[in-house]
Structure 1
Amino acid sequence: MSDLNTKIQDSVTFITSKTDVQPTIGLILGSGLGDFADEIENAKLIDYSEIPHFPVSTVEGHAGRLVIGTMSGKKVVAMQGRFHFYEGYSLQEVTFPVRVMKGLGVEQIIVTNACGGMNPDFQAGDLMIIEDHLNLTGSNPLIGPNDSELGPRFPDMGTAYTPELIDLVEKVAGQEGISVQKGIYASISGPTYMTRAELKMLRTIGSDTVGMSTVPEVIVARHMNIKTIGISCITDMAIAEELEPLTHEQVVEVANRTKPKFKQLLRSVIEKV
């Protein structure tokens, strides 16, 4: 057993000692979206700092704990706040909780984020189903020795976001009367927001949104054969020709305003997934 696998088992053993719930759905909740986990029923809360080998979230708007319980009749585990490459963690550390989720029994994962919109047909406050991504972080969480017990050396990313789940989210959104966009998400390392030239480049190569998370977690989820849904909350418009100064506080503010429809969509997706 590899050192990584041993660490995963340490974390899983600790978490299962705290709860009898065996989750099948995992949630990763991005900036300003974490309080969705407060709606989980019969919840067991575990601070990241208690879990062996877990990093600690350092970003405002990320509570830094696992929430395990029931929602819409399904057993779920939610990350109330995530880790980022720009915090100084390796991508292996950033994605470690996804591996632990798999060890807990998770078969499907819903990854969310707050991001900037570059497609002029989008607007701040929109929700976007991620159809595909561009990994522009400059690294990959699978670099290094591969443990074949966890996944293949060369995992296919042709359908990184599970097509039938993309269709399901779009269908559920229509049933709930929630307008959603679909598009490509580009992941950068951060922590700086993009220059005008960089935004022009990203739009030219086909990205609709840009953010500082999600893609490494999705790569690891697919490495471990976890079905994946990605939903972005567009908190600001990052169009090069119209760029205005942006702060993290503004991002969280728009995410907070968008929360009611985001929560409604997520609850319904969990019920039907």
Structure 2
Amino acid sequence: MEPQLLQEATSFLKEKVSEKPTIGLILGSGLGVLADEIESPVKVPYNEIPNFPVSTVAGHAGQFVFGTLEGKQVVAMQGRFHFYEGYSLDMVTLPVRVLKELGVSQIIVTNAAGGVNESFEAGDLMIIKDHINNMSQNPLIGPNDEAFGVRFPDMSNAYSDRLRTLAREKASELNIQIKEGVYVANTGPCYETPAEIRMIRTLGGDAVGMSTVPEVIVARHAALEVLGISCISNMAAGILPQPLSHDEVMETTERVKAEFLSLVKAIVKEM
């Protein structure tokens, strides 16, 4: 990561907002609706920010939204970037570095994921307890700048025990059935084959997707506290006798948005 690229993007955003955000929200496919709940919003499209990539995927609005959510100063990424879009992992994770520089200390990372655990159903919400990086890439490869983080960051508590406990408590209070499991990241953009899903299940994966892991690696490198939530938008290949499509992902996230919104807002209120 070139410090100059980071500095230019951060300086541009600091001029747009007066309040320093403490909580960052990275909103995946179909989940950007949470940003619409932010009060007194200041919206900054990615294409206006120096050195920033642009979201190219349906369901990703492609902007930062600054403001107040449940009394907390937040900044939401309404849409993210993916390795399969052709961006380097440096660019995919640049927004996480920017969030840190803006003053964020905690992030909630969300995604739409395929259910690998056969006890899951489309529409379930899953707290991510751990991940498997199956992308054969790592955003920290290359020279390490000690100003950003240590050379060998610890990933044993990548998804904060404290925030996962808080999420479970809030789900229980709201009577929301919540799952917990391991998220596996592949590069995409094609969905996995049934054989690959059997492999992922054997390895201990409960859900599979094409994002999140690079951002979480960089977040932990930057000493941010992380909570991850997956919306199980469809069952993965080979489990049900039907083809997979992005339309199904969007339909499912629309169906569960009320539960998703109420859960995340309750968590933010207590963070």
TM range (shorter): over 0.9
Secondary structure at 2:219's aligned position in 1?
helix
Query: Is the 2:129–2:181 contact (alpha carbons within 8 Å) kept by the matching residues of 1?
Result: yes
Moved over 4 A (4+): none
Q: What corresponds to 1:20 in structure 2?
A: 18
Match of 1:265 in 2: 263
2:30 alignment partner, SS class = coil
Give 2:131's match in structure 1, choosing from 130, 133, 137.
Answer: 133
Counterpart residue type for residue 18 of structure 1 = K
For residue 256 of structure 2, give the secondary structure of its aligned residue in structure 1: helix
* Corresponding residue number in structure 2 for 1:7: 5
What are the superposed Cα offsets for residues 95-125 of structure 1, whole Å, 9 maximum, x if unpaired? 0000000000000000000000011111000
Q: Which residue of 2 aligns with 1:88?
A: 86
- Match runs of 1:153-168 below 5 Å: 153-168=151-166
Task: State which of 78, 93, 113 in structure 1 corresponds to 2:76.
Answer: 78
Q: Which residue of 2 aligns with 1:231?
A: 229
Contact 2:111/2:211 (<8 A) preserved: yes
Give the CA deviation at 1:241.
Answer: 4.5
Q: Structure 2 CA distance, aligned partners of 1:258 and 1:241? A: 21
C-alpha displacement of 1:35:
1.7
Which residue pairs with 1:144 in the alignment? Answer: 142
- Distance in 2 separating the partners of 1:188 and 1:269: 28
- Please tell me whether the aligned partners of residues 237 and 243 of structure 2 are also in contact (alpha carbons under 8 angstroms): no
> For the Cα contact (< 8 Å) 2:118–2:239, is it kept in 1?
no
Matches within 5 A, 1:248-259: 248-259=246-257
Unaligned runs of 5+ in 1: none
Cα distance in 1 between the residues matched to 2:113 and 2:241? 15
RMSD of aligned residue pairs (Cα, Å): 0.9
SS at match of 1:95: helix
Q: Quick check: 1:31–1:252 contact (8 Å CA) kept in 2?
A: yes
Among candidates 212, 215, 220, match of residue 214 of structure 1: 212
1:183 paired to 2:173: no
Structure 2 partner of 1:202: 200
SS in 2 for 1:76: strand
2-structure distance, mates of 1:148, 1:14: 24
**Aligned equivalents of 1:230 and 1:185: distance in 2?**
9
Give 1:44's aligned residue: 42
Q: Which runs of no fewer than 5 residues in structure 2 stay unpaired?
A: none
| Aligned 8 A contact 1:196 1:243 in 2 | no
> 1:173, 1:179 within 8 Å by CA — same for their partners in 2?
yes
- Matched AA of 1:215: V
Residue deviations 1:190-240, cap 9 Å, x none?
A: 000000110000000000000000000000000000000000000111153
Within the alignment, does 1:31 sit opposite 2:29 as a pair? yes
Residue 244 of structure 2 aligns with an amino acid whose one-letter code is L
Aligned positions of 1:64-75 closer than 5 A: 64-75=62-73
Alpha-carbon separation, structure 1, partners of 2:217 and 2:239: 32
Q: 3-state DSSP class of the match of 1:183?
A: strand
Aligned residues: 271
Letter of the 1:203 counterpart:
R
* Structure 1, 238-247 or 185-194: larger mean CA deviation: 238-247
Q: Output the CA distance in 2 between the equivalents of 1:210 and 1:15.
A: 33
Q: Distance in 1 between matches of 2:99 and 2:228?
A: 16
Contact persistence 1:187–1:210 (CA under 8 A): yes
Identity of aligned residues (%): 55
Asked whether the equivalents of residues 91 and 140 of structure 1 are also in contact (C-alpha less than 8 Å), the reply is yes
For residues 42-73 of structure 1, the C-alpha deviation after alignment (integer angstroms, 9 at most, x for no partner) is 11000001111110000001000000000000
CA contact (8 A) 2:110 2:228 kept: yes
Structure 2 residue identity aligned to 1:132: D
1-structure distance, mates of 2:8, 2:254: 35
Give the TM-score of the pair, scaled to structure 1. Answer: 0.98
Report the Cα distance in structure 1 between the residues aligned to 2:115 and 2:46, rounded to whole angstroms. 31
> What TM-score, normalized by structure 2, do the two folds share?
0.98
